[in-house]
């Protein structure tokens, strides 16, 4: 008996080859984001440069996840993005790194993060041995991209959405991971910053600390953008209505 599986426009049947459904639209979406503002977005893989940039602009040390002292292969598995204003000043930065969540993001994340801080001899103490039950992160495994080091100068907050989305789509094009994920504060989660970036799934208490990492809160929220979420964002951004809205930001 022959069984035919029907598919619908914009969907991918189970078992289909890995890849973007429409790479050209992904490139178009990034072009639209870059063209909708006067800032120059730059990328790099030298994380000593990013560490120097952070120290100069924020007066703080780069996080262990992007520290070359504890991660020797960062140039092969990570990249950073900065935004330079028309006056020539660096006013924003963010970074992405590719990892493998095994057996899933929920089981892997805490041990991975504690290991990163331990390599730099920084003490962090979890407040719970695992994430809350029924977390969506239990369903995510394989190649995932961590989004960190996000900072935007207070005088240039208007580029937030374009800047973060540009980085996320670049990570999608570069690695085509199963998902992107980030950690943030209650304020970021509840004031819409995650959603504006493209993280459509948000959970409270993903990580809980008795002794939290520097710059983190005791209760950390997670933002998740699965591959399908990013493909939807690309499709929505490249519609006629969205192109008009982006062009109006010039």
User: For 130-140, how does the pLDDT look when each residue is reduced to its tens digit (9 = 90+)?
Assistant: 999 999 999 99
Residue 239 has pLDDT above 90, yes or no: no
pLDDT at 37: 86
Give the pTM: 0.89
35-45 residue pLDDT tens: 888 999 999 99
- For residue 54, give both structure tokens: 């952070």
């Amino acid at each position: 008996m022959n069984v035919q599986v029907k598919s619908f426009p914009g969907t991918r049947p189970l078992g289909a080859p890995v890849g973007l459904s429409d790479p050209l639209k992904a490139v178009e979406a990034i072009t639209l984001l870059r063209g909708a503002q006067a800032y120059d977005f730059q990328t790099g893989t030298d994380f000593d440069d990013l560490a120097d940039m952070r120290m100069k602009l924020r007066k703080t040390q780069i996080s262990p996840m992007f520290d070359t002292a504890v991660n020797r292969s960062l140039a092969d598995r990570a990249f950073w993005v900065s935004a330079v204003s028309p006056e020539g000043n660096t006013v924003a930065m963010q970074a992405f790194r590719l990892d493998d969540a095994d057996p899933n993001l929920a089981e892997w994340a805490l041990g991975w993060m504690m290991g990163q801080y331990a390599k730099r001899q920084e003490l962090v103490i979890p407040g719970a041995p695992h994430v809350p039950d029924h977390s969506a992160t239990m369903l995510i495994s394989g190649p995932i991209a961590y989004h960190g080091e996000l900072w935007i100068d207070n005088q240039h907050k208007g580029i937030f959405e374009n800047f973060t989305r540009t980085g996320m789509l670049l990570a999608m094009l570069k690695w085509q991971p199963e998902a992107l994920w980030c950690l943030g504060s209650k304020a970021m989660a509840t004031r819409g910053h995650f959603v504006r970036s493209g993280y459509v799934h948000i959970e409270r208490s993903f990580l809980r600390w008795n002794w939290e990492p520097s710059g983190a809160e005791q209760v950390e929220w997670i933002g998740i953008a699965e591959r399908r979420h990013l493909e939807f964002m690309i499709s929505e951004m490249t519609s006629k209505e969205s192109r008009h809205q982006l062009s109006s930001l010039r």
